[in-house]
Amino acid sequence: MMRVPGPLARLAVTWAVAAALLLQTLAVPSAWAQQRQISFVRDAEIEHILRRYATPIFEAAGIAPAAVQIVLVNDESINAFVAGGQNIFFHTGMLMESADPEQVIGVLAHEAGHIAGGHLARMRDAISDAQMLATIATLIGMAAAIGSGRGDVGAGVMGGGQEAARRSFFAFSRTQEGSADEFAMTMLERVGWSSHGLLSFMQKLAGQEMLPESRQVEYVRTHPLTRDRIEVIRNFVERESQFTKAPLPAEFYEMHARMKAKLVGYLRPDLALRRYSRDDTSVAGRYGRAIAQFRKGDIRESLALMDALIKEEPQNPWFHEFKGQILFENGRANEAVPPYREAVRLRPDSGLLRASLGHALLEVGDDRLVKEAIATLNEAARLERRSAFTWRLLASAYSRANLEPQLAYARAEEALARGDIRAAKFHADRAEQLLPTGSPEWIRAQDIRVMVEGRVQDMRARR
């Protein structure tokens, strides 16, 4: 598990900034109006679990699963949201506090409803309308204050106008939330899964709107919750659904237990050691304990637990991956390579696993492994094209192999993934000069240069 910045981070920040500006304009005190450092967590296993949960829903809705990014936000608050197009963001706190896979799937289905309904585009219109109301109220209030010579008159007019703008936006938002709920219930019914998880999650948050905003969970602040919404879902679950008591696939429950154990082990190791005691012999319990011991620096105990789990489940790629991580992050890169290789063999379509293997191969310091590292990282970059970290590793591998043309190309891709358009153009120009004309890398370097030049022109036009 590692934190990585990148294009997706900018998408989330853009959405959060827009929300903050809106709430400030409408004079609504909120955590969104405060500066926040948003960080992201990448974990191949958790992303795989969430995609297993989500894919049947996407397919039932006619949404191409590969077109939707599922992103983990390293934040212990309870929230999930859609931003930047077809991107679903889950806070780690949301996953750790979820009671069962039904709740996670219910929220996933709800967020997919925002994508299917095109709500982001409509939200921009609602923001614009609300801002216009607030601006008009401000201008009228200023005129009233000047005309009457009384500041309190102007303030009253402006305050009333901003309140009207706030009501206008949140009325629109409540409509969206109801629509997303209806979509979620329809799609879950189509798949043959219960909507009870959606209901139980909403019931868990019931009463939040009665609390001061500073004490509300973030999900309620970003997803207006009303008792009418809960009653509509309850009525569907209790009277209309054919699948209210239908269980999910059996493996989903174990996946959920392991996902929670992993997150708690990484992010709250002290809690994990209390929750997953030595008496807990479940796989999830031992997994969470192994991760917590690793985080606390007890490598011997962590490795012993993982060796026992691997013996029980030798075909589990995530167990091999974590053993590799324990070894790698404790300066034992040579020992980390075999478990990473096994993880990639078992899960060849994971760009994150391939990047970890490539990193370990480079850190061994044996030039005989550089060729394997280049092949591994090239495939990782193909699967994770927007990962600046992977391109940086590949650039390092090309440098070790004295492949200057390919090094320039990898640096161009890395700069593009970081959003550094000047560096991207510089390295793309150099790659064009050095690479064989017509080669795939040469064509891609041209594409990067043209793309970056277009962005520069757009930026100049906005000034």
Residue with tokens 């798949």: 191
CA distance 357 to 338: 9
Whether the Cβ atoms of residue 265 and residue 217 lie closer than 8 Å to each other? no
Q: How confident is the model at residue 131 (pLDDT cuts 50, 70, 90)?
A: very low
CA distance 331 to 106: 42
- State the pTM of this model: 0.79
Q: How confident is the model at residue 396 (pLDDT cuts 50, 70, 90)?
A: very high
Residue range 115-126: mean pLDDT, rounded: 57
For the stretch 81-111, pLDDT in tens is: 887 778 899 999 999 999 999 999 999 999 9
3-state secondary structure of 226: coil
Q: Which residue segments constitute the domains of the chain, with CATH numbers given? A: 2-240 (no CATH), 313-402 (1.25.40.10), 406-463 (no CATH)
Residue range 328-343: mean pLDDT, rounded: 97
Give 418 or 156, the one with higher predicted confidence. 418
Is the per-residue pLDDT at 130 higher than 50?
no
When mean pLDDT is compared across 49-63, 142-156, 291-305, the lowest value belongs to: 142-156
Residue 209 token pair: 């709107």
Residue range 315-338: mean pLDDT, rounded: 98
CA distance 449 to 460: 17
CA distance 253 to 256: 5
Host H or E run for residue 88: strand 87-91
When mean pLDDT is compared across 13-22, 73-82, 161-170, the lowest value belongs to: 13-22
Host H or E run for residue 416: helix 404-418
When mean pLDDT is compared across 29-38, 113-122, 232-241, 292-301, the lowest value belongs to: 29-38
CA distance 313 to 108: 29
Residue 242 token pair: 């054919």
For the stretch 362-384, pLDDT in tens is: 999 999 999 999 999 999 999 99
